[in-house]
Amino acid sequence: MEIMQEKFLMSYAENNNIIERTKREAENSKKFAIQSFAKSLLDVADNLGRASMIVKDKFTKMDTSEDPTGALSLLKTLLEGVEMTEKQLAEVFKKFGVEKYDPVNEEFDPNRHNAVFQVQDSSKPPNTVAVVMKGGYMLHERIIRPAEVGVTGGVGMDKKERESRD
């Protein structure tokens, strides 16, 4: 009788474990169902950001007072539309758990960063992210695109040297 009771308890515990594992897997499936869709939109977000940044930079250098054709005001309206689209896309990303991260000055982590080149910067410790070429993205704290970065090389100051410079 004791053996049967023990087997029953083990079977009961195993069933509970299966139920909990199935619940977790279902939650994760639901949580990460949009991962491939979100990944395909990341380049769109990057391109919108680059477009607005480049045009905004050009507008600050232009004299808009002499625009007989009205082209500059049209371009300004277009820029505002691009910026609104970029903002709306960022809000949708946030709503669904997609977050952009900027790893500047973080220690290089191959799980979060893709090293594209090496930078010689004696003001930072070796193996530190110095430049971000392409921002990284996470979906509910899972990396869906690592950041493309430039990492400091082996020439770095120790902690005392950096503190004495400050």
The verdict on residue 52 lying in a domain is no
148: pLDDT confidence band, cut at 50, 70 and 90? very high
Mean pLDDT, residues 114-141 taken together: 94
pLDDT of residue 161: 43
Q: Is the residue at 117 inside a domain?
A: yes
Taking the C-alpha atoms of residue 76 and residue 110, their distance in angstroms, rounded to an integer, is 40
Sorted by sequence, the CB contacts under 8 Å of residue 97 that are 6+ apart come out as 31, 139, 140
**Residue 74 counted as domain residue:** no
Cβ neighbour number for residue 115 with a 10 Å cutoff: 15
pTM above 0.75, yes or no: no
Q: What pLDDT is attached to residue 127? A: 94
Is the per-residue pLDDT at 15 higher than 60? yes
In CATH, what number is assigned to the domain containing residue 135? 2.30.22.10
35 in a structural domain? no
Structural domain containing residue 138: 97-166
DSSP per position, 84-96: HHHHHHHHHHHHT
**DSSP symbol at 146:** P
The predicted pLDDT at position 154 comes to: 61
Domain assignment present for residue 157? The answer is yes
d(CA 56, CA 126): 35
Q: How many domains does the chain have?
A: 1
Q: How many residues does the chain have?
A: 166
Paired with 147 in beta bridges are: 113
Residue 155, domain member (yes or no): yes
Q: Tell me if 118 is assigned to some domain.
A: yes
> For 33-87, how does the pLDDT look when each residue is reduced to its tens digit (9 = 90+)?
888 899 999 999 999 999 888 888 777 677 767 777 877 878 888 889 999 999 9
How do residues 77-118 score in pLDDT, each as one tens digit? 888 999 999 999 999 999 999 999 999 999 999 999 999 999
